[in-house]
Amino acid sequence: MKRELDSLVTQMHSSGIGYEEAVREFKKQYLREVLLAHRGNQCKAAEELGMHRNTLSRTMAELDLKLAEVRAGLKRPPRSERPVYTVVRRQG
């Protein structure tokens, strides 16, 4: 994992992404991942992150990370987009 992070940092630096933007994107992705792991539950996510839920909420607002977007990723796709499985029954 360290190599992947090193590679990502190198790519970001060579692309001209500044420190503030890099930190902002890291925080946003990290919080999104923790929220997804807790199915959008801010209390549980905040506990894992070692912060108060209000601090998490404020940080999400600062990063423009909307809980509705996180939860939208958790919903099942509509029936029309789900794969259809056929069951073959054996006669005998």
43's CB contacts (< 8 A; 6+ apart) are 53
What is the rounded CA–CA span in Å between residue 15 and residue 57? 31
48 with 38: CB under 8 angstroms?
yes
What is the rounded CA–CA span in Å between residue 5 and residue 14? 14
Please give the pLDDT value at position 27.
94
pTM beyond 0.85: the answer is: no
At position 74, the amino acid (one-letter code) is: L
Q: What is the mean pLDDT of residues 4-9?
A: 89
pLDDT at position 14 over 80: yes
Q: What is the pLDDT of residues 43-74, one digit of tens each?
A: 999 999 999 999 999 999 999 999 988 888 76
45 with 38: CB under 8 angstroms?
yes
pLDDT at position 38 over 80: yes
Residues of the chain with pLDDT > 90, as a percent, come to 63
